[in-house]
Amino acid sequence: MTKTLVVATGNPGKLREMQAYLANSGWELTLKPEDLDVDETGETFVANACLKASEVAKATGSWAIADDSGLAVDALNGSPGVYSARYGKTDAERISRLLRELGYTENRQAQFVCAVAVANPAGEIVLQSEGICRGEILYTTRGEGGFGYDPIFYVPEKQLTFAEMSPELKKSISHRGNALKNLVPQLVKVLG
């Protein structure tokens, strides 16, 4: 038996990434309707994920999954945080602003955070998960892969930035990967 899970995003790349985690779970993923937008007014990643999942579930009458993620830099008191995507108009602008605000601060510790929420067709949140990947912010960009802050997010254990990692390696250690790994067994039980 397969159930449809509407992904609260218009981004086909995010849909493909989630589908990779949910392969063999019994869920078939589909993108939310293009004209359905949800304002991210929450003050935390969890609040935004829950808001998006709930609103998309109610609007479509289907199960829905949403995530909210971003970069939290210790020396900037957790900024850019929930405003990670709105820190500039382009990835280059966001990176430039972050590096400018950090300056030559020695404390470069940071973490990527991802919260995932699943809502039933009534819009009730039935599952939540959060994943974290610790690292540090470099002074300059490195690597050609990934997106967003990936070229400046360095994982010391791997001696690579997210932008230098293979998709498989990034998936195995990333914040989104950690959040979804925790969620998949629960999602399979919901189908049961």
Structural domains of the chain, with CATH: 3-191 (3.90.950.10)
> Which residue among 37, 39, 67, 68 is the active-site one?
68
Residue 174 has pLDDT above 60, yes or no: yes
The reply to whether 68 belongs to the active site is: yes
Buried b / exposed e over 134-159, threshold 16 CB at 10 Å, is: ebbbeeebbbeebebbbbbbbbeeee
Q: Say if CB 22 and CB 40 are below 8 A apart.
A: no
pLDDT over 90 percentage in the chain: 69
Residue 192 has pLDDT above 70, yes or no: no
Q: Is 64 helix (H, G, I), strand (E, B) or coil?
A: strand
Q: Hey, what are 108's tokens?
A: 């470069």
- Of residues 144 and 24, the one with the higher pLDDT is 144
Q: Hey, what are 119's tokens?
A: 């809502």
Listed range (45-49, 92-96, 142-146) with the worst mean pLDDT: 142-146
Q: What is the pLDDT of residues 79-105, one digit of tens each?
A: 999 999 899 999 999 999 999 999 999
Can you tell me the distance from the alpha carbon of 165 to that of 182, in angstroms, rounded to the nearest whole number?
22
pLDDT over 70 percentage in the chain: 98
Q: Hey, what are 107's tokens?
A: 């404390």
Rama region for 3: left / alpha / beta (φ>0; ψ in -120 to 50; rest): beta
Can you tell me the distance from the alpha carbon of 24 to that of 2, in angstroms, rounded to the nearest whole number?
10
At residue 106, the pLDDT reads 96
pLDDT band, very low/low/confident/very high, at 108 (cuts 50, 70, 90): very high
At residue 2, the pLDDT reads 66
Beta-strand ranges (E) seen in the chain are: 3-7, 27-31, 63-73, 109-119, 125-137, 153-155, 160-161
